[in-house]
Structure 1
């Protein structure tokens, strides 16, 4: 059973790992705080960071939101290409209640305008410089909480407990079989966006085999869904 302290330590280890691999240019190591006798949060250590930040509810362009996140340092990790990674968890006792795991690619590379040779010579930037590439944020959400009336927030198929959102589409919720650990999330990001033909960075991550219990409901298994790895 994974508890708040396990996730806190896993994020610390993952952050240090990415620094060692040279993939991280800036970071906020996680903080863990108790909100009351039963609720604990594992969040990014930032003065203005908030688990339920209103910035995600504002009607602003992706570029404006990205730069606001940078300005407030609302990220766990800023990757070498400027992409931002957020990992936020909330536990109720020993059970996970919710998480938000987000990947925000940089909308552009300002430095590229001044020092293009650095990027052309580094294969890790080849996709970013491809004119066919479209910047798309990704977010893995988990929510097993209750509203003020005691009803579950999650609704089978319509709003799965665990789901993937692509882009900022509020109704895009692809069912995921379980809550996602920091290691699973970072391994997914590195494998799909940072591995190159000559360097498999995902193979150099410090592996963590712990995972959360399956939570997908029967109706969600009958439609397209994502099965999180079981080690």
Structure 2
């Protein structure tokens, strides 16, 4: 595992990347909580899960469309929660109420939470979580490095690499925001940085990729 300091540096760098893509609504460098545990997640509906993270200051990135991204660097678990509500962005909400400075967001934070709670719920909100968990590895059943798609299901897509915060953000932007990814493809410096990040991703140890694991389709 890379050092915690390295991961935190990447998170700050990815804030700059998302801002350059005009995707970042808010960067929260010091979340009050690293993330909910699995038992807590299973008790909540998707919309309550999003509201709990937002109201509890439990995220690093608040994207322009309301999605939340959180990095638990201690347990190597990274989460993306799409906004389940069909509502205006926080910035638009501030502007509509006459606040033009981002520093005013703390004034209207509770009002925005109330506004969001009254919005219609999207039909297909989406979540992605990446986990690296050596203690739960089970050959052929529980990959040490894997992606979860959605919540409260048994989906675990094995990955032969160890994902870090930088790679996770690139994955999210490419898969969920292809129109913004087009900007990346037009930036030779950014392409070079991504290629460098890909080549630096370490492979999982051989002891976590055994005969029964090789039967299924792993992401390279």
The match for 1:221 among 210, 214, 217 is 214
- Give runs of aligned pairs for residues 75-154 of structure 1, distance below 5 A: 75-90=59-74, 98-111=75-88, 134-144=124-134, 152-154=135-137
Quote the residue 1:147 is aligned against.
none
- RMSD of equivalent CA atoms: 2.6
CA contact (8 A) 1:2 1:211 kept: no
For structure 1, the 5+ residue unaligned runs are: 30-44, 91-97, 116-131, 145-151
CA contact (8 A) 1:141 1:163 kept: yes
Cα 1:155–1:87, aligned 2, differ >3 Å: closer, same or farther?
Answer: same
Tell me, in whole angstroms, the C-alpha distance in 2 between the residues paired with 1:166 and 1:89. 20
Cα 1:201–1:213, aligned 2, differ >3 Å: closer, same or farther?
Answer: same
CA contact (8 A) 1:83 1:106 kept: yes
How far has the Cα of 1:52 moved from its partner? 5.3
How far has the Cα of 1:133 moved from its partner? 6.9
Tell me, in whole angstroms, the C-alpha distance in 2 between the residues paired with 1:57 and 1:190. 24
TM-score (norm 2): 0.71
Quote the residue 1:123 is aligned against.
none
CA contact (8 A) 2:77 2:131 kept: yes
The match for 1:212 among 202, 206, 209 is 202
Deviations 1:49-74 (A, max 9, x none): 13554774451210111111110121
Tell me if 1:182 matches 2:168.
no
Tell me, in whole angstroms, the C-alpha distance in 2 between the residues paired with 1:83 and 1:70. 10
Higher helix share: 2
CA contact (8 A) 1:7 1:181 kept: yes
Quote the residue 1:19 is aligned against.
19
The number of residue pairs the alignment matches comes to: 178
TM-score (norm 1): 0.68
Cα 1:28–1:6, aligned 2, differ >3 Å: closer, same or farther?
Answer: same
How far has the Cα of 1:226 moved from its partner? 1.5
Tell me, in whole angstroms, the C-alpha distance in 2 between the residues paired with 1:190 and 1:179. 18
Quote the residue 1:32 is aligned against.
none
